[in-house]
Structure 1
């Protein structure tokens, strides 16, 4: 009896409590704080609108308009010339001459109108080009700022994948030589003309790691007995400008692993000082190092065995101390006024002078103690439009910067025929953004590039 009463009271109490619990709702509040900045959708919309505007501003019709005006001018000028010729031959001093002159005046008036319209259109296009270039630069900067919101690295991942696919395609097609120029270049090279450059065959960071991004390396085309397989490196160890030694390696494998059994040969204990190395353009020939002497318009020859230096002064006005550097649109390579080169016939020096308007000048260097200057050729290739030069079989080749992945051999000068060409079009695949020096070795037909602390080699193929 007592237990049933207790149970009844418990049930009654629960019934009285439940409605109260249901009638007082409980609130759950969550505070979400985003540590990242909100994505600027308005800026993205502005970028899209600007890009769309650029696309609308530049149309194929504008190019066709200029081409049409040029075509009209091209057709009118020969007609005017023919009418003037007829008047000169058949002028009777009377009515015929008066009528013919009136016809010629009308033609001249129409031609002047065409020229005025062409000038106006050209100036308009030039302004449009400048404005568009400025807008594209602003778009590039804005997109760079927006990329920081790509926390999952989606955009960067796409860029990496795109580059990997491009490299894979280049690797698949690597055995196919670059298309040759449309005409054979004259000359007396028994190897034929340069047709392609493949590789890289070898690439590695030097034993100095990233400490010295400027320098040069290669092989001696005329080595001393017992040094036929040796390689050399000259890193610029002071301010990326100066050096006072050459480091020797008994083989390519020794260079790759960074073991220099012959060791370093020091030019002078101080760096820099009189007759030490200035600039990255260095070559070795006949067991001697050739380079731009420190603070001089001269080429120095350092005898590796005798450890003696003999300078050769270049013609008055020759640029040095970064007066005529190798350059591309974004930057210049400091202290590259003089480029030394080797090929099948010996040593060469490439430099510039104000007398040749800053264009490349090529000269033979006749080895000796001291060396002397031989034959000299002037070219029309401007030094600052070139990133590197090298010689192969008596032909001067010049390269230019294409992009971060490629350099192009675009120019050649044949010392036999004196013929210049700007249509070579042979690409060199880069392992880093810059190539500080480029040397050709006739021993193995290889190009040796020093590229941002890396030593890289390429195979040169002749016809």
Structure 2
């Protein structure tokens, strides 16, 4: 049996759907191969069909199909990410709504309570000031702190709950200061300013620590601060400060009031290095400001000097027999110690003739000379400092690192000396400056670089 195999070899391609009749114009060859099969070769004359382009289109179609699938996968992936982002956005929106509603729920109420407490604090300080009928750095400082706290409350009201802890801490500190003021109110002076109708010091109040010196330098251990003991009109509230790393006296800064002192906003600084082309620097730490004039110990020659901060002029006057051999217990170069009280201005020193015992001199302010001198029995080097109140010298000494004691007095009105024991607390052990100011009846101490003050309580006359 013979099988017929038809093999079409398309030399010039024809359309697959073309009918047999259309092939008539071509030629067909036939033959039998070695296996007895019939093989036919059909040759088409039409060469217009673009077979190569169809093949390219098929390849491009396959590549495009693959690319579409890749893009579809990307879209599916982006869709998944979009779902996640929409979910996170919904959570974020919910959190923002909570934050927006939070202040109405808890912060607003808390801040309103803080404002109520501040008003109570202010009323308490006002009542305290009225009952005492005086102005003091402690009370002024409390007013400033209350005012600053009010500003802080306003600024932080829009913030989160954690800021309330900061305010609570500050409120706790403020509360303690108010309580301390209430506890110490019995230590405020009971004598009229400028009057000596009392029986002397009964006790010294607790130390009121303002802050580190205006240079904000713990190394500035030597210096002093305070108020003008005889202020010019308009300068009643003026404060001053001078400090350095050693006992050199080279500069003094003035502040309009206590608040400006604390804020380190001085309005005038005077340098003693070149005053009228001359070096007017001094030494020691026991200077005072009186009638806008700095009284201090001059270096060369060793003498008392004064620098008028109004006219910017200086002069010195040698103190007869005064020596540089005997300084106070705490610090060197404290040989001339100036003081002021209700009765005028004073200076203490030691002489070789007195064998180092303390000598007290009253200064005539017009002539800038000693008008009267008293010899005491107390050895100067055993004394840590002195101050004057109503013509009475008060000498101090150290009891321990936390306690100071007024142990000796000399009354120039009666020419009498006494041994007493009036103890008071120190902020820190080392101090170089201690003076009384008759304009507010307070003691001012420069204690290891810090501003410290004390209220004085007097005995009834």
Same fold (TM over 0.5): yes
Which position in structure 2 is the counterpart of 1:166? none
Deviation of 1:171 (Å): 9.9
Which position in structure 2 is the counterpart of 1:353? 351
* Superposed CA offset, 1:219-238 (max 9, x none): 11211121110001111x3x
1:189 aligned to which of 185, 192, 196: 196
Which position in structure 2 is the counterpart of 1:305? 310
Does residue 454 of structure 1 match 2:458?
no
Which position in structure 1 is the counterpart of 2:326? 324
Which position in structure 1 is the counterpart of 2:319? 314
Does residue 232 of structure 1 match 2:240?
yes
Deviation of 1:175 (Å): 6.2
Between the aligned partners of 1:189 and 1:289, the Cα distance in structure 2 is 25
Q: Secondary structure at the match of 2:207?
A: strand
Q: Secondary structure at the match of 2:262?
A: helix
Which position in structure 2 is the counterpart of 1:443? 439
Which position in structure 1 is the counterpart of 2:417? 420
Q: Say whether the 8 Å CA contact 1:177–1:195 is kept in structure 2.
A: no
Does residue 408 of structure 1 match 2:405?
yes
Which position in structure 1 is the counterpart of 2:255? 249
Name stretches of at least 5 consecutive residues in structure 2 with no aligned partner.
Answer: 1-179, 189-194
Counterparts in 2 of 1:20-39, with a 5 A limit? none
Count of equivalent residues: 272
Between the aligned partners of 1:287 and 1:191, the Cα distance in structure 2 is 29
Q: Secondary structure at the match of 2:259?
A: helix
CA RMSD of aligned residues (A): 2.3
Q: Which runs of 4+ in 1 moved over 4 A?
A: 170-178
TM-score, structure 1 length as denominator?
0.56
Between the aligned partners of 2:186 and 2:345, the Cα distance in structure 1 is 32
TM-score, structure 2 length as denominator?
0.56
Counterparts in 2 of 1:249-288, with a 5 A limit? 249-260=255-266, 262-269=267-274, 274-288=279-293
Structure whose alpha-carbon radius of gyration is higher:
2
Between the aligned partners of 2:433 and 2:296, the Cα distance in structure 1 is 12
Q: Secondary structure at the match of 2:413?
A: coil
Deviation of 1:202 (Å): 3.9
Between the aligned partners of 2:436 and 2:202, the Cα distance in structure 1 is 15
Between the aligned partners of 2:233 and 2:183, the Cα distance in structure 1 is 40
Q: Say whether the 8 Å CA contact 1:244–1:269 is kept in structure 2.
A: no
Which position in structure 1 is the counterpart of 2:223? 215
Q: Which structure has greater strand proportion?
A: 2
Q: Say whether the 8 Å CA contact 2:430–2:448 is kept in structure 1.
A: yes
Between the aligned partners of 2:423 and 2:282, the Cα distance in structure 1 is 30
Deviation of 1:192 (Å): 2.6
Between the aligned partners of 1:302 and 1:442, the Cα distance in structure 2 is 21
Name stretches of at least 5 consecutive residues in structure 1 with no aligned partner.
Answer: 1-169, 179-187
Q: Say whether the 8 Å CA contact 2:339–2:347 is kept in structure 1.
A: yes
1:373 aligned to which of 370, 374, 389: 370
Deviation of 1:295 (Å): 3.5
Q: Say whether the 8 Å CA contact 1:278–1:295 is kept in structure 2.
A: no
* Superposed CA offset, 1:199-225 (max 9, x none): 223431112121311001111121112
Between the aligned partners of 2:286 and 2:378, the Cα distance in structure 1 is 19
Q: 1:227 to 1:358 in 2, by over 3 A?
A: same
Deviation of 1:293 (Å): 0.4
Which position in structure 2 is the counterpart of 1:65? none
Deviation of 1:308 (Å): 0.8
* Superposed CA offset, 1:374-433 (max 9, x none): 11000000001100000011100000011111111111000011111112x111211111
